[in-house]
Amino acid sequence: GAVVSQHPSRVICKSGTSVKIECRSLDFQATTMFWYRQFPKQSLMLMATSNEGSKATYEQGVEKDKFLINHASLTLSTLTVTSAHPEDSSFYICSASRAGPGAQYFGPGTRLTVL
Amino acid sequence: RKEVEQDPGPFNVPEGATVAFNCTYSNSASQSFFWYRQDCRKEPKLLMSVYSSGNEDGRFTAQLNRASQYISLLIRDSKLSDSATYLCVVNNRYSSASKIIFGSGTRLSIRP
C-alpha cells in the first residue's frame, strides 16, 4: 500500500507558459499532501502543504500566486507553475500522508525544464 | 541552527563494511522519526520508521535517543546497492498541525 503517482514525469516548455502537475494517492486517502522542489545536488525544499478542501500553506519565500495548489479531493492535489521561467526548472516532488504523525509517501517526481 | 542536522558525507566505504549515520534534531517535542533513502534523480523512499525501543529490518538498525535528541541508522554488511543519500526525517507537532522536517541528507558510496 501507500502508492503515490505523479504526472507528467517530465515536461519541457517555453518560458511564459503554465505547467500543471498532478499528484494522486492511489491506494489510500491522503489528508495532507506536500509539494517539494529539489535543485541538482541540493536537498528537498518544502514549498507548500495542502489539506483537502482548504487553502494551501506556503513556506516562506514561495509565491502562492506563482505556484497554485489545489487539493480538491482526498486523492488528488495539483500544482500549477504559472508563467514558468528558466529559473523554475527543477525536480518537483509531491508526497502524501494519512492522518496523524506518520510517514510521507513520495510520488516519482516531475522534472520541469523551462527553455 | 537547523531543526534537523546530518553529516553530509560523503561516506565512502568498501562493500561488506558496517556504516553508521547520526542525525540530531532540535525540537524536544518531535513525535515521529524516519529514515528515507534517495537515489540520484529519484524520489525519496521510506526506508524505515524509528521507534524509541530501536528497530531492525534485515541489515538495517535504527535507534532513537530522545534524551540526547538524535537518531541513528546502522547498515551492516553493506552492498553496492546501498549507495544512495540517506535522509533523516522528523515529524513535529505545532498546535493543530504537524510538520515534516527533512535533514539535508548523508551521501553514502559503497565501493567494490
Tell me which chain A residue has its CA closest to the CA of residue B104. A43
The pLDDT assigned to B77 comes to 97
In angstroms, rounded to a whole number, what is the distance separating the alpha carbons of residues A30 and A96? 6
Distance in Å, alpha carbon of A58 to nearest chain B alpha carbon: 12
Q: Judge: B87–A46 Cβ closer than 8 Å, yes or no.
A: no
Residue among B43, B49, B50, B52 with most chain A CBs within 10 A, to mutate: B43
Per the prediction, chain B carries an average pLDDT of: 90
Give me the mean pLDDT over the A13-24 stretch: 96
DSSP secondary-structure letter at A46?
E
pLDDT at residue A62 above 90? yes
